[in-house]
């Protein structure tokens, strides 16, 4: 493979029939493709690009000189005709140097198929919008404290990328916004593979950090779905939510220390995730969250934690110090989850002064052979109903009316997931009258009479299950 630099000679060709692998083809089929074989030619092609333009960089290893990144400035595609900059062959255009692309005042731009190896953060700034990173291999320099990708632009899309190979402090993907308190709106993170973060510290190595404490009360409306997390050991929080109004759904976590933590913010939804054979599960702070349809199995730590608060509520005029504290959980719905053979099943916290209040825990399946199935600390106005308990573990301090002990009669399928058999007592045993769920974790309809736990019994095969590497990353369909 030839090594290329910014000063390599210009080579540009145009071919209407050249196709790009960019995930989803937004531009019209007739749009021309410009092929270049140097960074200088790439910059020239970007400078004259119009909506629908497709610019392909030839395979090779390129070193971007200091102070001369590839600039995408004042370029605006459209929804149906984005400006696309792509590698000729996904993964075979390697970009070294301090920076690669710099974006400014641009919209509807797609960067596809690159292997990013730069030594500074790849930034998507707030003066941009509709920026898409797709089918890239992201392994930036392993520098202490370096965050790899930071998204601060509205309507950004991060999909089918592989983030991997960090051993130092710093996050793979951060989502923030303009100023000190705003959040980027409607960011969509899907079908990515996050793997092999080996930082051994206790904090600061998250695969995804969705906000920070000063932005906790800001609505973001982000959707994080269909991502696979493997060996994500840089932080107990694999997905750290520090903003409001987000949805975390249909993700799979395998063999990872990190779990899903609603650390700051309100009105978030955690729906239909698999957390398997790792350490941490789901931990909750803040108000008005919905946690439904999740399957947590084989975790060596705490599967589901309803936390306690150093503050009763976060408020707009609170001090920065108070904002960093834990907001006591209020008005939660925790329903239709399966917690199977974890070291800790459902538990609370007692080391902060403010207890959780007004929480509904209903129609969950709790199975374990050690410890207590429920180990809550102080609570106020909890509603328990329809939970099913089983195993050698003690019931713990669940109220007597809050659950029934019986064998759920589970059967393990080819994907390693235990689901109810045809004669399981979980079938049609749900008690919630108006639950905010229409489908189960596998995408099957719940129907009028809902089953207890994450899976709704069906004779048909699941529509989806836990993700594997073939489902995510640059080479996935």
Angle at 444 between CA 439 and CA 449, to 5 degrees: 65
Checking if the pLDDT of 173 tops 80, the result is yes
Give the pLDDT of residue 462: 92
**CB-side neighbour CA atoms (13 Å) of 98:** 5
Give the pLDDT of residue 434: 85
Q: Which two tokens stand for residue 307?
A: 């936390």
Checking if the pLDDT of 158 tops 60, the result is yes
Give the pLDDT of residue 32: 82
Q: Taking Cα atoms as reference points, which of 369, 418, 424 lies closest to residue 391?
A: 369
Q: Which two tokens stand for residue 294?
A: 């999740």
Give the pLDDT of residue 252: 98
Give the pLDDT of residue 436: 87
Cα–Cα dist 408/405, whole Å = 9
Give the pLDDT of residue 145: 97
Question: What's the mean pLDDT in 379-389?
Answer: 98
Angle at 433 between CA 402 and CA 450, to 5 degrees: 80
Checking if the pLDDT of 11 tops 60, the result is no
Checking if the pLDDT of 82 tops 90, the result is yes
pTM of whole model > 0.85? yes
Checking if the pLDDT of 25 tops 60, the result is no
Q: What element of type H or E holds 130?
A: strand 129-134
Q: How does pLDDT run across 94-145, given as a tens digit for each residue?
A: 999 999 999 999 999 999 999 999 999 999 999 999 999 999 999 999 999 9
Checking if the pLDDT of 21 tops 60, the result is no
Ramachandran angles phi, psi of 82, nearest 5°: -70, 165
Give the pLDDT of residue 31: 66
Checking if the pLDDT of 42 tops 70, the result is yes
Q: How does pLDDT run across 254-308, given as a tens digit for each residue?
A: 999 999 999 999 999 999 999 999 999 999 999 999 999 999 999 999 999 999 9
Checking if the pLDDT of 30 tops 70, the result is no
pLDDT band at 227 (very low <50, low <70, confident <90, very high): very high
Checking if the pLDDT of 344 tops 70, the result is yes
pLDDT band at 26 (very low <50, low <70, confident <90, very high): very low
Q: Which two tokens stand for residue 242?
A: 């520090």
pLDDT band at 239 (very low <50, low <70, confident <90, very high): very high
Looking at every residue in the chain, the average pLDDT score rounds to 93
Checking if the pLDDT of 14 tops 60, the result is no
Checking if the pLDDT of 9 tops 90, the result is no
Checking if the pLDDT of 228 tops 60, the result is yes
First CA to last CA distance, the chain: 27
Domains annotated for the chain, with CATH where assigned, are 1-117 (no CATH), 160-471 (2.160.20.10)
Cα–Cα dist 183/219, whole Å = 7
Q: How does pLDDT run across 404-423, given as a tens digit for each residue?
A: 999 999 999 999 999 999 99
Q: How does pLDDT run across 179-216, given as a tens digit for each residue?
A: 999 999 999 999 999 999 999 988 999 999 999 999 99
- 174 neighbors 209 (Cβ within 8 angstroms): yes
Question: What's the mean pLDDT in 386-396?
Answer: 98
For 115-231, where are the alpha helices, taking DSSP H only?
none
């Amino acid at each position: 493979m030839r090594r290329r630099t910014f000063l390599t000679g210009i080579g540009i060709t145009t071919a209407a029939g050249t196709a790009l692998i960019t995930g989803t083809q937004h531009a019209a089929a007739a749009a021309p493709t410009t092929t270049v074989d140097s960074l200088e030619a790439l910059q020239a092609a970007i400078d004259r690009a119009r909506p629908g333009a497709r610019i392909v960089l030839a395979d090779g290893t390129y070193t971007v000189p200091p102070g001369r990144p590839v600039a995408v400035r004042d370029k605006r595609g459209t929804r149906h005709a984005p400006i696309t900059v792509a590698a000729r062959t996904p993964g075979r255009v390697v970009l070294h140097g301090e920076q690669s692309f710099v974006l400014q005042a641009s919209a509807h731009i797609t960067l596809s198929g690159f292997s990013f190896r730069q030594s500074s953060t790849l930034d998507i700034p707030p003066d941009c919008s509709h920026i898409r990173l797709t089918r890239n291999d992201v392994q930036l320099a392993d520098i202490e404290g370096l965050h790899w990708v930071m998204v601060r632009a509205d309507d950004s899309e991060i999909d089918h990328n592989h983030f991997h190979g960090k051993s130092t402090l710093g996050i793979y993907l951060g989502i923030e916004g303009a100023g000190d308190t705003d959040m980027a709106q409607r960011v969509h993170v899907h079908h990515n593979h996050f793997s092999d973060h080996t930082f051994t510290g206790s904090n600061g190595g998250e695969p995804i950090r969705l906000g920070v404490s000063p932005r906790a009360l800001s609505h973001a409306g982000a959707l994080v779905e269909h991502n696979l997390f493997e060996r994500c050991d840089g932080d107990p929080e694999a997905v750290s939510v520090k903003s409001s109004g987000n949805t975390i759904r249909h993700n799979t976590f395998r063999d990872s220390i990190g779990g899903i933590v609603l650390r700051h913010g309100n009105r978030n939804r955690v729906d239909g995730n698999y957390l398997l054979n790792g350490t941490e599960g789901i931990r909750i702070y803040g108000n008005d969250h919905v946690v439904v349809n999740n399957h947590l199995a084989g975790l060596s730590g705490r599967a589901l934690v309803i936390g306690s608060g150093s503050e009763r509520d976060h408020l707009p005029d609170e001090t920065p110090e108070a904002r960093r504290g834990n907001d006591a959980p209020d008005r939660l719905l925790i329903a239709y989850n399966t917690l199977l053979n974890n070291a800790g099943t459902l538990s609370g916290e007692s080391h902060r002064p403010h207890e959780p209040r007004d929480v509904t825990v209903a129609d969950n399946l709790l199975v374990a052979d050690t410890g207590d199935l429920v180990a809550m600390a102080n609570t106020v106005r909890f509603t328990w109903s329809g939970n099913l308990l089983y195993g050698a573990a003690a019931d713990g301090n669940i109220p007597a009316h809050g659950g029934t002990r019986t064998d759920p009669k589970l059967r393990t399928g080819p994907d390693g997931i235990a689901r109810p058999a045809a004669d399981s007592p979980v079938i049609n045993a749900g008690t919630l009258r108006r639950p905010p769920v229409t489908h189960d974790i596998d995408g099957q309809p719940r129907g009028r009479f809902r089953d207890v736990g994450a899976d709704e019994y069906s004779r048909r095969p699941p529509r989806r299950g836990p993700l594997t590497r073939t489902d995510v990353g640059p080479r996935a369909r």
